[in-house]
Every structure is written in structure tokens, then in C-alpha cells.
């Protein structure tokens, strides 16, 4: 079977099996050598973090990181992992940049972060940097 079809089937089944928030887009690269990319439709730090934490609970080998876009105006919150069938997945959404939440994140830079930070941000009223 074509690797692209395997990835398409895997992400479709995963989205169907779990209760996720709205997805803005799903990208599967022809040939299946790149991860499935899922962009979430979520706004604000609490909502994006909460949506990503939901994904974390359904993936294996999860890592998290942040990337401040080169313009400096927004930050992508990212989780990467594998679907239970082994297909790699990259899930992200953006939030506005603020110095109080991301004090040591220069424009254009990426940083790994522990998943527990997403869990803290997902709780309204809490901010962890």
C-alpha cells in the first residue's frame, strides 16, 4: 500500500477515535517520509495548551517545544509524537507573543520544553514560563 494512504488512514482513524478540538488543517506529504502535520483551530494560551494536552494523551514518544516566528509577533506551541500505529505526527497552533509568558525566547528561536508546562498553561489563571 502507498505510504501516503497509510498515513491518511492512520490520521483519519485517530481523529475519529478521539475527541479533539477543532482542526484547521491536516497535511500529509506524498511518500509518507514527513510527519502528518495537524494545525489546530484554537485561540489563546489556555485553549491552545489544553488542545495540545489532549493530543499528548493519545500519542507515544511525545516531545514539546515552542518556536517564536521570525517576525516575533507569535509563538507556535508544538507537540510531536507517534500515533499508536507508529505514524509520526506534528501538532501545533500559535499564540500571541508576550514577554511575561515567553521571557527568554528571541524572535526566530526554538526551544524544547517539558510537557508539564503545557499542562500548567492549560489551567486558566496560571502562567508558567
DSSP string, 38-83: EEE---HHHHHHHHHHHHHTT-EEEEEEEEE-TTSSEEEEEEEEE-
User: What tens digit of pLDDT does each residue of 100-113 get?
Assistant: 999 999 999 999 99
- Expressed as residue numbers, the domain containing 98 is 3-121
Q: Any residues with CB less than 8 A from the CB of 89 and at least 6 apart, and which?
A: 11, 14, 35, 36, 37, 38, 59, 80, 81, 82, 83
How many domains, in total, are found in the chain?
A: 1
Residue 129 lies in a domain: no
Task: Identify the sign of the CA torsion 21, 26, 31, 33.
Answer: negative
Mean pLDDT of the chain: 92
Round to whole Å and give the CA distance between 73 and 65: 17
Round to whole Å and give the CA distance between 48 and 31: 30
For residue 5, name the pLDDT band (cuts at 50, 70, 90).
confident
Model confidence at 119: pLDDT above 80 = yes
Among residues 51, 68, 55, 49, the alpha carbon closest in space to that of 116 is found at: 49
Residue 65 lies in a domain: yes
Model confidence at 126: pLDDT above 70 = no
- Tell me what the mean pLDDT of segment 21-49 comes to: 90
Residue 9 lies in a domain: yes
Half-sphere exposure of 28 (CA within 13 A, CB side): 15
Residue 87 lies in a domain: yes
Percent of the chain whose predicted confidence (pLDDT) is above 90 = 84
For residue 2, name the pLDDT band (cuts at 50, 70, 90).
confident
Among residues 8, 12, 101, the alpha carbon closest in space to that of 49 is found at: 101
Do β-strands 60-68 and 74-82 pair in parallel, antiparallel, or remain unpaired? antiparallel
Rounded CA Rg of the chain: 15
Residue 126 lies in a domain: no
Residue 27 lies in a domain: yes
Residue 92 lies in a domain: yes
4-18, 24-38, 61-75, 100-114: lowest mean pLDDT where? Answer: 24-38
Amino acid at each position: 500500500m502507498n505510504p501516503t494512504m497509510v498515513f491518511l488512514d492512520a490520521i483519519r482513524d485517530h481523529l475519529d477515535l478521539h475527541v479533539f478540538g477543532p482542526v484547521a488543517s491536516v497535511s500529509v506529504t506524498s511518500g509518507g517520509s514527513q510527519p502528518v502535520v495537524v494545525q489546530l483551530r484554537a485561540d489563546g494560551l489556555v485553549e491552545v495548551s489544553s488542545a495540545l494536552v489532549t493530543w499528548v494523551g493519545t500519542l507515544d514518544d511525545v516531545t514539546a517545544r515552542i518556536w517564536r516566528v521570525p517576525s516575533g509577533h507569535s509563538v507556535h506551541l508544538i507537540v510531536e509524537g507517534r500515533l499508536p500505529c507508529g505514524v509520526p505526527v506534528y501538532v501545533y497552533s500559535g499564540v500571541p507573543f508576550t514577554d511575561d509568558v515567553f521571557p527568554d525566547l528571541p524572535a526566530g528561536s526554538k526551544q524544547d520544553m517539558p510537557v508539564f508546562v503545557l499542562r500548567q498553561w492549560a489551567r486558566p489563571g496560571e502562567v508558567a514560563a
